[in-house]
Chain A
Amino acid sequence: MQTLAVWKFASCDGCQLSLLDCEDDLLLLADRVQIANFLEASSATVGGPYDISIVEGSITTPHDAERIREVRASSRTLITIGACATSGGIQALRNFADVEDFTRIVYASPDYISTLAMSTPISAHVRVDFELNGCPIDKRQLLEVIGAHLAGRRPHVRAHSVCVECKRRGTVCVMVAHGTPCLGPVTHAGCGAICPSYDRGCYGCYGPMESPNTVSLSAQMAALGTEDVDLVRVYRTFNAAAAPFREASEAREGGQRA
């Protein structure tokens, strides 16, 4: 039986929780694969090497930068899950600031804190075999990715925009119909276009799609009345350090607040 290990770095635990949220399929999965390391779920661990490693979280400490190399070395296939692991996560907002300032704001004794100036995705440190976007990931996509790797085929995970998902579920475009700013045109599909179906613009938690045209989108959102300060904010959330979003936010930096 193939072995599966789950590893956590800097994160909220929500993406590995998605695995436990596969209520109907969790026990089925446990029949198909040996869960060799998943500390959130079990204290029983088996040593590596592992056939599949699922990695959650970003690299933010020197210690974790070492630990991810060990995980890579003991894994045949390494899959990263969630915005922290694929782009650095919300904690990558430090990349735009001085991490020492951040430390002083939160901690009374900054000397105790061992942290890196940047929060970086796993792929900045080791080879990654597959990246699954999302903050959080979608549990059906997670099952698809694990199932595909167990079967030795490519996962069916599309890199087109959220717009396609809105059209497929028949949601009226919130930006065209209501003038609501929406990151859907530049955001990676996978969530199922939830926000527009709740009368809300997409806020980009799945990160950039394969060919994002942020210049046009920013211009359109500005035409709808979005100030530059807010354009910077909308690109700087859970995938702030993903290159297309980082560049789009930097392009609007220094703008005037209303």
Chain B
Amino acid sequence: MSDASEMPTGPHGEQGLRTRVIRTDYLARVEGEGAMYVKLDGRDVVEVKLRIYEPPRFFEALLRGRAFTEAPDITARICGICPVAYQMSAVRAMEDACDVVIDEGPLRDLRRLIYCGEWIESHSLHVYMLHAPDFLGYAGAVEMARDHGEIVEQGLQMKKAGNALMALVGGREVHPINVRVGGFYRAPTGAELRTLVDPLERARETALATVRWVAELDFPDVRRARELVALRDPGEDYPIDRGAIVSDAGLDIAPAQFDEHVVEEHVEHSNALHARIRERGTYLTGPLARYALSCAQLRPLAAEAARAAGLGPVCENPFQSIVVRSVELVQACDEALAIIERYEQPDAPAVQVTPRRAVGHGATEAPRGLLYHRYEIDDDGAILDARIVPPTSQNQLAIEEDLRAVVEDALDLPDEKLSLRCEQAIRNHDPCISCATHFLKLTVDRG
């Protein structure tokens, strides 16, 4: 690439006689570095790519030889936006390998609590700072704040409540230090947790207002039917930290069966690996999938907010993911408050986990979708093999299908508007490219 093209460019198109190219070289308001490329021949969409050029960091390789206890801290560094998701999938996988189950009581509660903090932080960031500017026509939240200061301010305050929760339970917001295989290093006292009640109650009010606000946004009228995949909690809870992997097309498997049912294929138009359900093909994880499969397990306040916002039992319009994300904000705030209310400090902050030669699997719900870890460890607890499948790898095919559909629906828009619509279609799924990169097979075209 030439020097000039190295500086960020906004959306732009290139027009030939028949060929039309819509591309954005540096996607903004997504986590990580990606680009978008759409090529049309006349009115035919011939190529659609969500390009990943973020450099690889080789986590599966560097985990080999590390202690099983190090996996939560090391894999957290895959993503600064959802480190708790990585820590939780890692600890579940290691506990699975060592035949330990933490499925009830205050330790599980604390895990769900810190995970609620991450959902609140990440969803607030996405709803207010990354996604809402698309609907209101701003380049970003700072620009949006000049006209809608109060709205951005309330979003930031809700985000802050999520961060405060992560900082208290986890020690800090980004890459928390308190999560370990077996539980925590130190369990917070009830008095410490109760300091979060006020900010979380305010955040819950903000979340309810957020649902009402985003429900009124102007959505393109589209429906995208495809297989939806999420965890299903074996108890009464909305899916976060445990459960079978299920879909609306009948998939119902334990995390240990993930590899049997999900394949990663090399498709012609992209050098990225795309995850597919072996029997059926493209699928989607994330808020739309969780909601469709488990809306009956939403807490009453969140379920009522969803109904009032006009959401049915399934939301097939990816542009409305902002509404579902906001409903999940109500859910996470409300559940966090319920956990704090019933919390009693456990006698020990962690249970003993003794390594043995085994394979373990862990799947949890990152804010943007299903995150699967598998580890093989030896008798000393050294990691022999690691596999990590983040949500954005699983969603990439669905995102590209959305891009294609958006272009086909809006061929007559001028390039710049079409490009913005395409970017919005990508942001609908809150892709995390930093996460996705380490597993992707990619070509970096250096021109």
Question: Hey, which chain A residues are within 8 Å of B173, CB to CB?
Answer: 21
A20-B125, A41-B140, A41-B141 as given contacts; A194 in contact with B31, CB under 8 Å: no
Task: Write the nearest CB–CB distance from A235 to chain B, whole angstroms.
Answer: 13
* Number of A-B residue pairs at CB separation under 8 A: 208
Known: A43-B140, A136-B175. 17 other contacts (CB 8 A): A11-B80, A12-B78, A13-B434, A21-B173, A23-B160, A23-B163, A24-B156, A27-B149, A41-B28, A42-B141, A45-B10, A97-B61, A102-B61, A106-B56, A106-B439, A114-B444, A199-B185
Q: Are B177 and A200 in contact (CB under 8 A)?
A: yes
Measured between beta carbons, the chain B residues less than 8 angstroms from A1 are: none
Q: Give chain A residues whose Cβ lies under 8 Å from the Cβ of B349.
A: 199
Q: Does B443 contact A (CB under 8 A)?
A: yes
Which of B59, B61, B83, B184 touches A14 (beta carbons < 8 Å)? B83
- Known contacts: A90-B74, A115-B56, A230-B67. The answer to whether A41 contacts B157 by CB under 8 A is no
The interface size of chain A toward B, counting residues with CB under 8 Å, comes to 73
Q: Mark A21-62, 1 if CB is under 8 A from B, else 0.
A: 101101100100001011111111101100000000000111
B386 nearest CB neighbor, chain A only: A105
Residue among A12, A27, A257 facing the most chain B CB atoms (10 A cut-off)? A12
Which of A63-71, A121-129, A162-170, A243-251 is the interface stretch? Answer: A63-71
Asked if A23 and B175 make an inter-chain contact with CB atoms under 8 angstroms apart, the answer reads: no
- Nearest first, the 8 closest Cβ-Cβ pairs linking A and B are A14-B80, A42-B140, A44-B139, A43-B28, A102-B61, A105-B61, A200-B185, A136-B174
- 24 sample A-B contacts, Cβ–Cβ < 8 Å, listed by A number: A12-B78, A13-B81, A13-B434, A14-B80, A17-B125, A20-B129, A23-B160, A30-B145, A37-B8, A38-B140, A40-B30, A41-B28, A41-B142, A42-B140, A47-B7, A66-B6, A70-B3, A97-B62, A103-B58, A106-B58, A115-B55, A197-B171, A205-B175, A237-B70
Within 8 A of A (CB), among B402-438: 423, 434, 438
Q: How many residues of B contact A (CB 8 A)?
A: 77
Report if B290 contacts A (CB, 8 A).
Answer: no
User: Of B56, B58, B70, B153, which is within 8 A of A233 by CB?
Assistant: B70
Q: Are B31 and A106 in contact (CB under 8 A)?
A: no
Q: For residues 137 through 177 of chain B, which have their beta carbon under 8 Å from a beta carbon of chain A?
A: 139-143, 145, 149, 152-153, 156-157, 159-160, 163, 171-175, 177
A166 smallest CB distance to B (angstroms) = 14
B-side residues, CB < 8 A to A, are 1, 3, 6-8, 10-11, 26-33, 54-62, 64, 66-67, 70, 73-74, 77-81, 83, 125, 129, 133, 139-143, 145, 149, 152-153, 156-157, 159-160, 163, 171-175, 177-178, 184-186, 266, 271, 273, 349, 380, 423, 434, 438-439, 441-444, 446
Closest B residue to A7 using CB positions:
B8
Interface core residue of B8, B74, B141 (most chain A CB under 10 Å): B8
- B32 touches which of A13, A43, A90, A115 (Cβ 8 Å): A13
A161 at the interface (CB under 8 A from B): no
When distances are taken between beta carbons in the complex, the residues of chain A under 8 Å from B271 are: 112
Taking CB atoms, residues of chain B closer than 8 Å to A27 are 142, 145, 149, 152-153, 156
With A90-B57, A113-B442, A199-B185 as contacts: A15 and B80 at CB distance below 8 Å: yes
